[in-house]
A and B are shown apart, each in its own frame.
Chain A
Amino acid sequence: MRTGSNSIPSSGGMSRVDGRLKVTGAAKYSAEYEVKGLTYGVLVGSTIAKGTIKSIDIKRAERAPGVLAVITHLNSPKVPGYQSATNTPKGQIRIFYDNKVVYNGQPIALVIANTFERALYAASLVTAQYNNGEHQTRLTDNLQAAFSPKDDNEYKRGDPDAWRSAPVKVEQEYLLPSEVHNPMEMHAIIARWDAEDKITVWDKTQGVKDTQTNIALTFKIPTENVQVNSRFVGGAFGNALQVWPHEIAALIGAKVVKRPVKLVLSRTDMFTSVGYRPHTWQKIAIGATADGKLVGINHHAVGQTSAYEDFAEAPADVSRQLYACANVATSNKIASLDIGSPVWMRGPGYATGCFALESALDELSYQLNIDPIELRMRNYTDVDPESGKAFSGKFLNDAYKLGADDIGWSNRSSKPGSLTKDGWLVGYGMAGGVFVADREPATVRATFTDGGKLIMQTAVSDIGPGTATAMVALAADTLGITAENIRFDMGDSSLPPAPQQGGSTIMSSVGSAVFLACKQLMEKFKALGDSSDYAQLLKQNKLPKLEVLIDSKAGTEVDKYAMYSWSVHYVVVHVHPVTGVVKMEKVTCVADSGRIISPKTARSQIIGGAIMGIGMALMEEAVIDHRYGRLMNANLGDYHVPVNADIPQINALFVNKADTNINPIGAKGMGEIALIGMAGAVANAVYNATGIRVRDLPITPDKMLGALPHVA
Chain B
Amino acid sequence: MKQFQYSRPATQQAVIDAINKPGAKIIAGGTNLVDLMKRGVTAPDKLIDINHLPLKNIAPVKGGLHIGALALNSVVSENKLVVAQQPLLSMALKAGASPQLRNMATVGGNILQRTRCAYFYDTTMPCNKREPGSGCGAIGGYNRMHAIFGASDKCIAVHPSDMCVALVALDATVIVQSKKGTRRIPFADFHRLPGEHPDLDNNLAAGELILGVEIPDNNFAKNSYYLKIRDRQSYAFALVSVAASLELEGNTIKNARLAMGGVAHKPWRLVEAEKALIGKPVSAETFNIAAQIAIQGAKTYGGNDFKLKLAPATITEALKHASGLV
Q: Does A583 contact B (CB under 8 A)?
A: yes
On chain A, the residues within 8 Å of B141 by CB distance are 625, 627, 632
Task: List, in ascending order, chain A residues with CB within 8 A of B124's CB.
Answer: 47, 630
Our pick among A580, A627, A642, A701 for the contact of B140 (Cβ within 8 Å) is: A627
For the complex, what is the distance from the CA of A583 to the CA of B116, rounded to whole Å? 25
A623 to B303, CA, bound (A): 12
In chain B, positions 212-246 with a C-beta closer than 8 Å to chain A are: 227, 229, 231-236, 239
User: Is A644 in contact with B116, judged by CB distance below 8 angstroms?
Assistant: no
Q: Mark B249-292, 1 if CB is under 8 A from A, else 0.
A: 00000000000000000000000000000000000000000000
B181 CB, nearest partner CB in chain A, Å: 39
Interface pair B229/A579, CB less than 8 Å apart: yes
Contact, CB under 8 Å: A121 / B236: no
The 8 A CB mask of A596-635 against B (1 = contact, 0 = none) is 0000000000000000000000110001010110101100
A637 within 8 A of B: yes
Q: Chain B residue with minimal CB distance to A642? A: B232
B116 touches A618 (CB 8 A): no
Contacts of B236 in A (CB 8 A): 640
Distance of B262 from chain A, by nearest CB (Å): 12
- Indicate whether A555 reaches chain B with its CB closer than 8 angstroms: no
Stretch of B78-86, B107-115, B192-200, B305-313 contacting A (4+ beta carbons < 8 Å): B305-313
In the complex where A121-B2, A578-B316 touch, is A645 in contact with B234 (Cβ < 8 A)? Answer: yes
With a CB–CB cut-off of 8 A, which chain A residues contact B142?
A: 623, 625, 632-633
Q: Is the interface of B mostly helix, strand, loop or mixed?
A: loop
- Shortest beta-carbon distance from B139 to chain A in Å: 11
Among the listed A578, A643, A706, which residue makes an inter-chain contact with B233, where contact means beta carbons less than 8 Å apart?
A643
Partner of A705, one of B98, B235, B313: B313
Chain B residue numbers with a CB within 8 Å of A578 are 313-314, 316-317
A579 and B233 within 8 A (CB): no
**What's the Cα separation between A630 and B232 when bound, in Å?**
24
CA distance A141 to B1 in the complex (A): 39
- B3, B232, B313, B316: the one within 8 Å of A619 (CB): B232
Whether A705 contacts B232 in the complex (CB less than 8 A), given A121-B3, A124-B1, A625-B142, comes out as no
Give how many B residues have a beta carbon under 8 Å from the other chain's beta carbons: 33
B144 to chain A, nearest CB (A): 8
* Residues in A neighbouring B140, C-beta threshold 8 A: 627
A-contacting residues, B122-161, CB 8 Å: 122, 124-125, 137, 140-142, 144
Q: Which residues of A contact B227 (CB under 8 A)?
A: 579
Residue B40 is within 8 A (CB to CB) of chain A in the complex: yes
Contact between B310 and A701 (Cβ–Cβ < 8 Å)? yes
Q: Are A579 and B310 in contact (CB under 8 A)?
A: yes
Contacts of A698 in B (CB 8 A): 231
Q: Does B295 contact A (CB under 8 A)?
A: no
A423 to B234, CA, bound (A): 21
Contacting residues, chain A, for B122 (C-beta < 8 A): 630, 632
A581 within 8 A of B: yes
Once A630-B122, A705-B310, A705-B313 are accepted as A-B contacts, the answer to whether A120 and B1 lie under 8 Å apart by CB is yes
Interface residues of A in 174-195 (CB under 8 A from B): none
Contact of A701 with B1 in the complex, beta carbons under 8 Å: no
What are 6 A-B contacts with C-beta separation under 8 Å?
A579-B227, A579-B313, A618-B231, A700-B231, A701-B231, A705-B310
Other than the given A619-B232, A698-B231, A701-B229, 6 more pairs (CB < 8 A) read: A579-B313, A579-B314, A632-B119, A633-B118, A645-B234, A705-B306
**5 closest A-B pairs by CB:** A702-B306, A645-B233, A645-B234, A47-B124, A705-B309
